[in-house]
């Protein structure tokens, strides 16, 4: 009888981990299932999490408009001004690794409340800065750490709420980032035009504070969470997910995507100014990228929904090739509407690619390891953001143009495409072994019955 029960548990465990190709979990059956949330609750919950993404990433992408303004205001080198956006994006995406245990302990909803208030303080203080260093500290460090809490907490929240099929919802979640990239740069432009850069920081602080009420919505939904964690570890980050070399290849490709993928969004305003267009025209190009990202992330959701049997990482093979072409075209088109068209055509595949990062990590780990895995992948993205802006800014300062930066981006995108083929091979091989193992276990169980 005991042997019969044990085999039954093994079958359930294998079935539960059907989508986790690389790192299966051993703790799923230790979590008590909560009540099921209503459809209305789930929709409101998704909106709340998407708003966290929109605020955190929108403020960062909007700094490309502020970048062009602060170069003139403080008469500083581009490489130094780029530190504001570089450090902000690095910490907003990567700082969550230092707070993973705290988010799991106090809950993602409370983490969003704390992060929103912290970010508001940093942006508000930036408006009173008399030099670039103070802005780097207040916006680049303080505000970004607060948004880093909101950013990672939204990913964790979605996996805990939609634990049965989180991959699709994680793709949908990333729509928030594109909405932020589309809307917030336009707000920066309006605020700078009417209230100067100082007033713009004050108003952006108010926008950052909007994460608080949406954090309350997430907190009030905690009774519907399934954490999948049997052992509530207090460690800062469980590094067991790094024992697989395939994970390392994936993380390196994430790093490359963050390093090169945002060159267009970061430098398109300054690039357009250098070609004789106005800052306002450059802001429109940033928003065009954001709008194209929205379309791309929606397309990413459709692809994920209709290709459930295909591992998400497969799509990076052709997406990286398309991005390589886009990097080359952006510096070889000089007509404004030509640039606008390239921004849209580039933004769509980049939106698809970006939307798949969280789903790839979910598919290659497991529910209980996902918070740590996502924190590590965010750190890979964040580290790239630290020196991504410096590379572009330094090349512009030294050579007077951004061309070399975009050609480097094209080369790295080709590399990511080739290495993804290797990842796809091992993922397919391991999935076959997993299916074979599941079938064998099921047969043994039937014989024991």
DSSP string, 239-303: GGGGGSHHHHHHHHHHHHHHHHHTHHHHHHHHHHHHTT--HHHHHHHHHHHHHHHHHHHHHHHHH
- Residue 363: the pLDDT is 81
Task: Please answer whether residues 17 and 207 qualify as being in contact, where contact means their C-beta atoms are separated by less than 8 angstroms.
Answer: no
**CA distances (Å), origin 90, targets 80, 139, 198, 251:** 15, 12, 23, 15
Tell me the whole-structure pTM to 2 decimals. 0.69
Give the C-alpha separation, 345 to 347, whole Å: 6
Two structure tokens written together for 388: 């991504």
Task: Please answer whether residues 347 and 292 qualify as being in contact, where contact means their C-beta atoms are separated by less than 8 angstroms.
Answer: yes
Task: Please answer whether residues 108 and 153 qualify as being in contact, where contact means their C-beta atoms are separated by less than 8 angstroms.
Answer: yes
**CA distances (Å), origin 446, targets 3, 378, 433:** 13, 43, 20
Task: Please answer whether residues 363 and 308 qualify as being in contact, where contact means their C-beta atoms are separated by less than 8 angstroms.
Answer: no
- Residue 239: the pLDDT is 67
Two structure tokens written together for 170: 């994680």
Which has the closest alpha carbon to 318: 421, 448, 388?
421
Give the C-alpha separation, 330 to 274, whole Å: 14
Angle formed at CA 315 by CA 313 and CA 317, multiple of 5 degrees: 95
Quick one: how far is CA 107 from the chain centroid?
A: 20
196 sits in the region (left: phi over 0; alpha: psi -120 to 50; else beta) called: left
Quick one: how far is CA 148 from the chain centroid?
A: 11
- Residue 232: the pLDDT is 46
Domains of the chain: 40-448 (1.20.1250.20)
The position carrying tokens 């290495």 is 419
Residue segments in the chain with a per-residue pLDDT below the cut of 50: 1-3, 5-21, 23-31, 229-236
Give the C-alpha separation, 306 to 300, whole Å: 10
Quick one: how far is CA 218 from the chain centroid?
A: 19
Q: What is the dihedral of CA 289, 318, 91, 383, to 10 degrees?
A: -130
- Residue 59: the pLDDT is 92
- Residue 209: the pLDDT is 92
Contacts made by residues 328-332, CB under 8 angstroms, sequence distance 24+ = 328/406, 328/407, 328/410, 330/264, 330/268, 330/271, 330/406, 331/401, 331/402, 331/403, 331/406, 331/407
Which has the closest alpha carbon to 82: 208, 339, 265?
265
The total of other beta-carbon atoms located within 10 Å of residue 424's CB is 17
Give the C-alpha separation, 7 to 329, whole Å: 58
**CA distances (Å), origin 276, targets 126, 285, 356:** 30, 14, 36
Quick one: how far is CA 359 from the chain centroid?
A: 11
- Residue 448: the pLDDT is 58
Burial (CB count within 10 angstroms: exposed 0-12, middle 13-18, buried 19+), residue 186 = middle
């Amino acid at each position: 009888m005991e042997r019969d029960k044990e085999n039954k548990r093994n079958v359930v465990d294998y079935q539960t981990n059907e989508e986790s190709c690389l790192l299966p979990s051993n703790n799923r059956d230790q979590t008590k299932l909560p009540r099921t949330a209503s459809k209305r609750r789930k929709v409101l919950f998704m909106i709340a999490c998407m708003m966290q993404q929109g605020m955190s990433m929108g403020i960062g992408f909007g700094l490309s408009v502020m970048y062009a303004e602060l170069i003139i205001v403080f008469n500083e080198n581009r490489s130094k001004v780029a530190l504001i956006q570089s450090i902000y994006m690095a910490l907003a995406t990567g700082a969550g690794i230092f707070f993973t245990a705290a988010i799991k302990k106090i809950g993602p909803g409370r983490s969003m409340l704390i992060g929103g208030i912290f970010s508001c303080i940093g942006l508000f203080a930036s408006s009173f800065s008399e030099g670039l260093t103070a802005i780097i500290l207040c916006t680049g460090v303080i505000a970004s750490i607060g948004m880093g809490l909101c950013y990672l907490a939204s990913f964790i929240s979605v996996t805990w709420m939609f634990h049965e099929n989180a991959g699709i919802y994680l793709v949908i979640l990333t729509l928030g980032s594109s909405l932020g990239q589309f809307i917030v740069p336009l707000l920066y432009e309006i605020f700078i035009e009417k209230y100067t850069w100082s007033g713009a920081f004050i108003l952006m602080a108010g926008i950052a504070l909007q994460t608080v009420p949406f954090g309350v919505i997430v907190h009030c939904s905690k009774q519907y969470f399934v954490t999948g964690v049997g052992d509530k570890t207090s460690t800062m980050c469980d590094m067991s997910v790094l024992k697989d070399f395939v994970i390392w290849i994936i993380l390196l490709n994430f790093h490359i995507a963050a390093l090169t993928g945002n060159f267009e969004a970061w430098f398109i305003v300054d690039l357009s100014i250098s070609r004789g267009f106005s800052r306002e025209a450059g802001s429109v190009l940033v928003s065009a990228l954001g709008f194209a990202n929205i379309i791309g992330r929606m397309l990413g959701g459709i692809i994920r929904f209709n290709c459930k049997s295909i591992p998400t990482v497969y799509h990076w093979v052709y997406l990286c090739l398309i991005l390589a072409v886009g990097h080359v075209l952006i510096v070889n088109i000089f007509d404004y509407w030509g640039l606008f068209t390239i921004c849209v055509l580039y933004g769509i595949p980049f939106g698809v690619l970006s939307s798949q990062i969280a789903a790839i990590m979910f598919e290659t780990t497991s529910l209980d390891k996902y918070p740590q895995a996502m924190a590590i992948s965010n750190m890979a993205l964040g580290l790239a953001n630290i020196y991504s802006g410096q590379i572009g800014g330094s090349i512009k300062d030294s050579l007077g143009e951004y061309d070399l930066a975009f050609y480097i981006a094209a080369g790295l995108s080709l590399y990511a495409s080739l290495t993804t083929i290797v990842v796809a091979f091992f993922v397919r091989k391991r999935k076959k072994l997993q299916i074979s193992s599941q079938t064998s276990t099921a047969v043994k169980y039937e014989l024991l019955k």
